[in-house]
Chains A and B, each alone.
Chain A
Amino acid sequence: MKGTPMNRKGICILVAGAFAGPAVADEPDPFRMSGTLSIGGLHTDTSDTPDASKLNEYRDLSSGLLTTLDVKGRNSRYWLDFFGENLGRDDQYLAARGGMYDVFKYRLYSDALKHNFLFNGVTPYSGAGTANQTATFPSLDKSTWNSLDIGYKRRDDGLMFEWQKSDPWYARVEANQVRWSGSKPGSSSQGTSPGNGFVELSLPVDYKTRNASVEAGYNTRQMHFDVSWLTSKFENDNDSVAWTNGYFGNGTDHTYLAADNRYQRFMANATFRHLPMGTTIAARFTSDELKSSVPLATSVLDGTGGQFTATNPSASSFDGKVRNNTFTLSAMSSPVTALDTHVYFNYRKRDDDSSVVSFTAPDAVESLPFSYRKNNAGFDAYYRLSRENRLGGGYDWLDTTRSGRDDFDQTTDRRLFLEWRNTSIDDLAARLKYTRLERDSSFLHGNDGVSSSDPAFLNRFVSAFDLSGVNQDQWKLTLDYTVMERLDLGFEGIIKTNRYTENTLGRLKDDRREVYLNASYSFPAGARFTVFGDSEEIKYDSQHRIIGDGSLSGAYDPNSPPVAANYNWGGNIKDRNWAIGAAFDWPATEKLVIKASYIYYKTDGLVDLSLEQGVPASVTQPAPIPNWDDSKRTSFTIKAVYKYTKAWSFTGGYAYEKYDYSDSQYDGYQNTIAGSSNQNSYLDSVYSRPHYRANMIYGLVNYHF
Chain B
Amino acid sequence: MRPERFIAALAILGWTALLPASARAEPAVPVCAGCHQEAHASIENTLHGAKNDAMGSMCQACHGDASEHLKDPVQNKMVNKFAHATASEKSAVCLTCHGGNRHLAFWESGKHAKNEVACSDCHNIHDKAKSLTVAPFTTSSRPIEADTCGRCHKQVRNATLKPSHHPILEGKVKCSDCHNPHGSVTPVMLRQETVNQQCYSCHADKRGPFVFGHPPVDENCLTCHTPHGSSHEKLLNDKAPNLCQDCHVTGKHPTNFYGSGQAWILPNGATNSAPNTRFIARGCLNCHNSIHGSNAPSSRGQALIR
Contact = CB atoms under 8 A, between A and B. Distances in A.
A30 to B, nearest CB: 4
Contact of A657 (B137, B139, B161, B167): B137
Contact of A254 (B9, B137, B296): B296
A532 B134 contact: yes
Interface residues of A, number: 228
A667 B13 contact: no
Contact of A5 (B4, B132, B255): B4
A71 interface: yes
B134 A530 contact: yes
Interface string A362-376: 110101111010000
A599 interface: yes
Interface in B236-284: 238-239, 242, 245-247, 249-250, 253, 255-257, 259-261, 263-267, 271-272, 274-275, 277-283
Contact of A297 (B99, B158, B296): B296
Contact of B139 (A5, A85, A507, A628): A85
Given A33-B19, A601-B163, 5 more contacts: A111-B172, A187-B281, A532-B154, A577-B162, A664-B260
Interface stretch (A45-53, A124-132, A136-144, A579-587): A579-587
A22 B15 contact: yes
A609 B215 contact: no
Given A6-B4, A256-B295, A705-B16, A322 B209 contact: yes
A598 B296 CA distance: 48
B72 interface: no
B306 interface: yes
A187 B15 contact: no
Given A30-B27, A91-B139, A296 B297 contact: yes
Contacts of A3: 2, 5
A189 B287 contact: yes
Contact of A311 (B50, B163, B172, B297): B297
A625 interface: yes
A18 B12 CA distance: 8
A370 B286 contact: no
Closest 3 interchain pairs by CB? A320-B209, A668-B264, A189-B287
A interface majority secondary structure: strand
Interface string B137-151: 111111000000000
Nearest to B213: A370
Contacts of B219: 370, 372, 402, 466
A88 B238 CA distance: 37
Nearest to A696: B137
Contacts of B289: 186-188, 255
B83 interface: no
Interface in A489-533: 490, 492, 494, 505-507, 514, 516, 518, 520, 528-530, 532
A442 B16 CA distance: 67
B80 interface: no
A614 interface: no
B8 A370 contact: no
B75 interface: no
A256 B216 contact: no
B111 to A, nearest CB: 10
A469 interface: no
Given A31-B23, A226-B105, A462-B250, A58 B139 contact: no
Contacts of A172: 102
Contacts of A402: 215, 219
B interface majority secondary structure: loop
Contacts of A529: 132
B141 A32 contact: no
B56 interface: no
B118 to A, nearest CB: 13
B134 A582 contact: yes
A569 B257 CA distance: 8
A352 B209 contact: yes
Contact of A85 (B106, B140, B239): B140
A520 B101 contact: no
B277 A681 contact: yes
Interface in A582-628: 582-585, 597-599, 601, 603, 605, 607, 609, 620, 622-626, 628
Given A296-B211, A628-B239, A609 B255 contact: no
A198 interface: yes
B211 A367 contact: yes
Nearest to B27: A32
B190 to A, nearest CB: 12
A328 B185 contact: yes
Contacts of B283: 665
Interface residues of B, number: 134
A698 to B, nearest CB: 8
Q: Which of B12, B209, B281 has the most CB of A within 10 A?
A: B209
A637 interface: yes
Contacts of A598: 134
Contacts of A273: 108
A505 to B, nearest CB: 4
Interface string A251-285: 00111111101010000010101000000101110
B259 A625 contact: yes
A15 B12 contact: yes
Contacts of A84: 9, 12
A666 B158 contact: no
Contacts of B137: 635, 637, 653, 655, 657, 696
A234 B231 contact: no
Contact of B297 (A94, A313, A340, A601): A313
Interface in B180-204: 185-186, 193-194, 197, 200, 202, 204
A133 interface: no
A93 B277 contact: no
A690 B15 CA distance: 42
A10 to B, nearest CB: 9
A434 interface: no
A640 interface: no
Contacts of B53: 76
A415 B136 CA distance: 38
B25 A459 contact: no
A118 interface: no
A330 B286 contact: no
Interface in A346-383: 346, 348, 350, 352, 354, 357, 359, 361-363, 365, 367-370, 372, 380, 382
Interface string A308-340: 000101000010111010101010100000001
A623 B167 CA distance: 36
A26 B20 contact: yes
B91 interface: no
B179 interface: no
B208 A571 contact: no
A25 B301 contact: no
Contacts of B211: 294, 296, 318, 320, 357, 367
A186 B234 CA distance: 13
Given A3-B2, A15-B8, A667 B208 contact: no
Interface in B75-121: 95, 99-102, 105-106, 108-109, 114, 116
A51 to B, nearest CB: 14
